[in-house]
Amino acid sequence: MSILRRIQQMRASLSGGSFLLEASGDLAAGDTLLIVKTSGAHQELPEEVTVTERGDGSFKLADEIMALFHEGEMVVFGYFTDLKDPQSLQWDISDLDGGTGRNQMGQYFRDRMTSKRTLTCSWGALSGDDMAGLLCMMEDVFFLLEYPDALTGERKRSEFYVGNRTTPMLRQKPDGSWMWQNLSATFTER
Confidence of residue 173 (pLDDT cuts 50, 70, 90): confident
| Surface-to-core class of residue 99, CB atoms within 10 Å of its CB (0-12 exposed, 13-18 middle, 19+ buried) | exposed
**Total number of domains constituting the chain:** 2
Sign of CA dihedral 51, 53, 58, 61: negative
Residue 185 is inside which H or E element, if any? strand 183-189
The residue that leads in pLDDT, 58 or 155, is: 155
How much is the pLDDT for 170? 86
Confidence of residue 33 (pLDDT cuts 50, 70, 90): low
Q: Specify the CATH number for the domain of residue 46.
A: 2.40.30
> For residue 127, how far is the Cα from the chain centroid?
23
How much is the pLDDT for 16? 56
Q: Do 176 and 113 reside in the same domain of the chain?
A: yes
The residue that leads in pLDDT, 14 or 108, is: 108
Q: Do 75 and 92 reside in the same domain of the chain?
A: no
* pLDDT for 188 beyond 90: yes
As a whole number, the mean pLDDT across the chain is 75
Encode pLDDT of 62-75 as tens digits.
555 555 555 444 45
Q: CA-CA distance, 160 to 43, in Å (whole number)?
A: 26
Q: Do 96 and 174 reside in the same domain of the chain?
A: yes
Q: Do 33 and 94 reside in the same domain of the chain?
A: no
Longest distance between any two alpha carbons in the chain, whole Å? 73
How much is the pLDDT for 183? 92
Of 71, 30, 75, nearest to 53 by C-alpha is 30
Of 186, 172, 60, 59, nearest to 121 by C-alpha is 186
Q: Do 63 and 126 reside in the same domain of the chain?
A: no
Q: Which of 65, 82, 99 is the last residue of a domain?
A: 82
* pLDDT for 152 beyond 80: yes
Average pLDDT over residues 143-170: 89
Q: Do 70 and 92 reside in the same domain of the chain?
A: no
Q: Which of 60, 82, 104 is the last residue of a domain?
A: 82
Encode pLDDT of 133-146 as tens digits.
889 888 888 888 88
Q: Which of 58, 82, 106 is the last residue of a domain?
A: 82
How much is the pLDDT for 83? 82
Average pLDDT over residues 24-42: 51
Q: Do 68 and 122 reside in the same domain of the chain?
A: no
Say what the pTM is: 0.66
Confidence of residue 91 (pLDDT cuts 50, 70, 90): very high
Q: Domain span at residue 14?
A: 5-82
- Percentage of residues in the chain with pLDDT exceeding 70? 61
